Structure 1
Amino acid sequence: MDMKIYDPQEETQWDERIAQLDRPSLFYSSLWAAVLHDSYQYRPIYFVQRQGEAIHFLLPVMEISSRITGRRGVSLPFTDFCDPYVIDPIDFEPAISEAIELGKQRGWRSLEIRGGKTLLKNQLSSRQYFQHQLNLGDPETLFRNLKSSTQRNIRKARKNGVVVRFDNSTAAMEDFYRLNCLTRKKHGLPPQPISFFQNVLNNIIRTNHGVIAQATYHNKIIAAAIFFHFQKSVVYKYGASDIDHLPLRANNLLMWEAIAHFSGRNFEQLDFGKTEIANEGLRKYKLSWGADEKRVPYYKYDYQSNSFIQDRNKESGWYNAVFKKMPLPLLKLTGALLYKHVG
């Protein structure tokens, strides 16, 4: 099978083909490609081998051309996990070798693959994260399987008068963005620009592939989350909250109502996203929902050394303390300027 490069946005039946895979993912779709391209002008380079109309190999890559970080391929930017897809594992090695060679021809410094443990198990991983996934089903059974403290927090939020609603309006996205900016500042990170979330709204939410959940207290929005869904799978993509109202346990009720919401609509699995290995608090939070845990490695092929290399996590460093002290308008501007180069 010949390797070809596709831009999903230019293929009219791309998402229908993705839906037919035995492991479909929203992050393979033209919808997510449009979010990344429209937000940061990344170039979609999706390596594909097909037999007839069926996809046998897929490595979705965005080419980042940056004066700061150089030209490189990432599969995929702002995506926690994106396993390469292959029907027969025996075909993977020649396919990935061809993709690496095509990247060399394009002058890439590196190619990063966020997943692919079973396919790249003999290669050195660049870094690792935890992934937590919850099998959905009967809400009563799911509630019984929660950690007792999580059950108490859900009940406490209800008793305190917290109410959860789903609202996919422009105003709801603006409310989420406001909370997200505050949450990112608390963690010492710039927020992504509002244009990114507007593209999420237009390409994901408004095509019925995502929802915005809000927790309110006395008609004030104190927590919000964005969930993506595709076929039978759900991804908890973004969360934000008002730190002054954390004792109300709104985040617990919001997550539980989302679990019940998707369970009632016959979705089968909820992915809580990545967790840094050292972040024990976040890890325990996700495990408290009854989720299964596994380690997921990232891989980075370096073209200078012609090998897979280790890399450090660039989300943590001395700069977190600087970002925490920045005025919010300056922090927003920093995010708008930097994220295109980060990926």
Structure 2
Amino acid sequence: MGKSGKKIYGNFASVEDIKFRQISLNEWQRLVAQKTIDYKSFFLNSKWIHVIQKQYKFKDYILGIYKKNALIGAIPFLVTPTLFFKKKLIALPFSDHLEIPGWNTSFSSPLKSFLQTLLSQYSEIQIRTFFPIEGFVTHSQEVIHLLPLEKDFELQKKKFNSSIRRNIKKALKNGLQLELSNSQKAMHEFYSLHLITRKKHGIPIQPKHYFINLYSEVIKKDLGTIATVRMANQPIAAAIFLFTDKAILYKYGASNISFLHARPNDFLFYHMIEWAINNRFELFDFGATQIKNQGLMRYKQNWGSVAKPLYRNYLFADTTHYSDEINSKKLNIVANIIQHSPKWVCRVLGEIFYKYSQ
């Protein structure tokens, strides 16, 4: 506590008139509300941080950027664990990307200098952005696909690839129906389909309680919705969408592979884009995609979206830090185990290890 009795968050470190100090989540949210940001995504909402913290107990380290004692920007880090009893600082785990309020490229050097002083406490510091940060180790292996929305759905449809239009005709012949809901039942149905999808791809699923937290903190408060596609009243595909004032984000998707021939995913996106336009959203975010997944890249581009590169910027305490080959081999082993095991294996592995996956 300072002499005034006010809580002090961290110490100042000054380089080239730029200072850095830890701030509170409330200060972070006020800053986001004040700043003009090109794409103010849901990942900037403190409720998103609350969902992650409620499940995984990660501590926040919101790094304020100051000039002449005025808060001009901030980076929201969370402290995450590793399997080897070390800690990382990540902005922001489980998030596709991060816009840094108030960012200026001139901050790169002083930011690196400050963060390097923290490497005695953290084995890795990571910032996920739309741009490379000078002086950091940078990798770009993902993109997001953004679809600017017209005010008229009929105009929007003209941007769809002909394959999308054919698939929609097929979906309509199969009698598919779309339901939007903020109910717990919808979340439970989504989780069941999501488990099937994750097992198919050999990826551990996030703990079920994480989705319960997402429901109570976000969906229930009308900051998102669950879209479910039904065939003969049976749920065959579902997705979770999160909202900001101007953008709708596709965050999680799931489907029953036995019904993919009915084109439920095309049906879902088609009607969600129409719904977004009718509700005056200006941007449809299809979420992150690994560049190596060319099939999914093409699928998202078929809707008329534009790919935007994502960057992961790293600082490491140990120079022998990063090996794509080793990480890929580990993931392949885990995927093989999940794909050839009962669904409970996918679920249990997620419960135990998902918090280390960042």
User: Could you say whether these structures have the same fold, taking a TM-score greater than 0.5 normalized by the shorter chain as the test?
Assistant: yes
Compute the displacement of 1:281 (Å). Answer: 0.7
Q: Answer yes or no: is 1:57 the counterpart of 2:69.
A: no
Q: How many angstroms apart in 2 are the aligned matches of 1:193 and 1:18?
A: 29
Greater displacement, 265-274 / 49-58: 49-58
Q: Is the 8 A contact 2:181 2:225 kept in 1?
A: yes
Q: Answer yes or no: is 1:133 the counterpart of 2:146.
A: yes
Q: Answer yes or no: is 1:6 the counterpart of 2:23.
A: yes
Unaligned runs of 5+ in 1: none
Q: Is the 8 A contact 2:28 2:62 kept in 1?
A: no
SS in 1 for 2:129: coil
* Deviations 1:113-164 (CA, angstroms, capped at 9, x unpaired): 112415x156442342122110012211111110001011112112210011
2:8 aligned residue: none
1:166-185 matches, cutoff 5 A: 166-185=180-199
1:318 aligned residue: 333
Q: How many angstroms apart in 1 are the aligned matches of 2:72 and 2:272?
A: 34
1:74 aligned residue: 90
Q: How many angstroms apart in 2 are the aligned matches of 1:168 and 1:54?
A: 40
Unaligned runs of 5+ in 2: 1-17
After superposition, the Cα gap between the structure-2 partners of 1:87 and 1:328, relative to the gap in structure 1 and judged at 3 Å, is: closer
Q: How many angstroms apart in 2 are the aligned matches of 1:53 and 1:244?
A: 59
1:131-210 matches, cutoff 5 A: 131-137=144-150, 138-210=152-224
* Deviations 1:99-126 (CA, angstroms, capped at 9, x unpaired): 442x325x100011112415x1564423
Compute the displacement of 1:297 (Å). Answer: 2.0
Greater displacement, 296-305 / 87-96: 87-96
Q: How many angstroms apart in 2 are the aligned matches of 1:302 and 1:99?
A: 10
1:31 aligned residue: 47
Q: How many angstroms apart in 1 are the aligned matches of 2:262 and 2:192?
A: 19
- Let me know the Cα RMSD of the aligned residues: 2.2
2:265 aligned residue: 251
Read off the aligned partner of 2:148 and give its amino acid letter.
N
1:213-252 matches, cutoff 5 A: 213-252=227-266
Read off the aligned partner of 1:80 and give its amino acid letter.
D
Q: How many angstroms apart in 2 are the aligned matches of 1:321 and 1:310?
A: 23
Q: How many angstroms apart in 2 are the aligned matches of 1:54 and 1:145?
A: 45
After superposition, the Cα gap between the structure-2 partners of 1:53 and 1:161, relative to the gap in structure 1 and judged at 3 Å, is: farther
Compute the displacement of 1:51 (Å). Answer: 6.5
Q: How many angstroms apart in 2 are the aligned matches of 1:54 and 1:289?
A: 43
Q: Is the 8 A contact 1:31 1:204 kept in 2?
A: yes
Compute the displacement of 1:251 (Å). Answer: 0.6
Q: Is the 8 A contact 1:57 1:92 kept in 2?
A: no
Of 281, 285, 294, the residue aligned with 1:267 is 281
Q: Is the 8 A contact 1:56 1:86 kept in 2?
A: yes
TM-score by length of 2: 0.87
After superposition, the Cα gap between the structure-2 partners of 1:219 and 1:321, relative to the gap in structure 1 and judged at 3 Å, is: same
SS in 2 for 1:85: coil
Read off the aligned partner of 2:142 and give its amino acid letter.
Y
SS in 2 for 1:215: strand
Q: How many angstroms apart in 1 are the aligned matches of 2:333 and 2:260?
A: 27
After superposition, the Cα gap between the structure-2 partners of 1:32 and 1:145, relative to the gap in structure 1 and judged at 3 Å, is: same
1:339 aligned residue: 354
1:95 aligned residue: 111
SS in 1 for 2:332: coil
* Deviations 1:74-115 (CA, angstroms, capped at 9, x unpaired): 1111111114333433234313432442x325x100011112
Of 268, 293, 315, the residue aligned with 1:301 is 315
SS in 1 for 2:348: helix
Q: How many angstroms apart in 1 are the aligned matches of 2:70 and 2:284?
A: 27
* Deviations 1:28-62 (CA, angstroms, capped at 9, x unpaired): 22101101101111111111125799852221111
Q: Across the two proteins, how many residue pairs are aligned to each other?
A: 335
2:14 aligned residue: none
After superposition, the Cα gap between the structure-2 partners of 1:125 and 1:2, relative to the gap in structure 1 and judged at 3 Å, is: closer
TM-score by length of 1: 0.90
Q: Is the 8 A contact 1:69 1:341 kept in 2?
A: no
Read off the aligned partner of 1:33 and give its amino acid letter.
I
Read off the aligned partner of 1:29 and give its amino acid letter.
N
Q: How many angstroms apart in 2 are the aligned matches of 1:52 and 1:235?
A: 36
Q: Is the 8 A contact 1:173 1:201 kept in 2?
A: yes
Read off the aligned partner of 2:145 and give its amino acid letter.
H
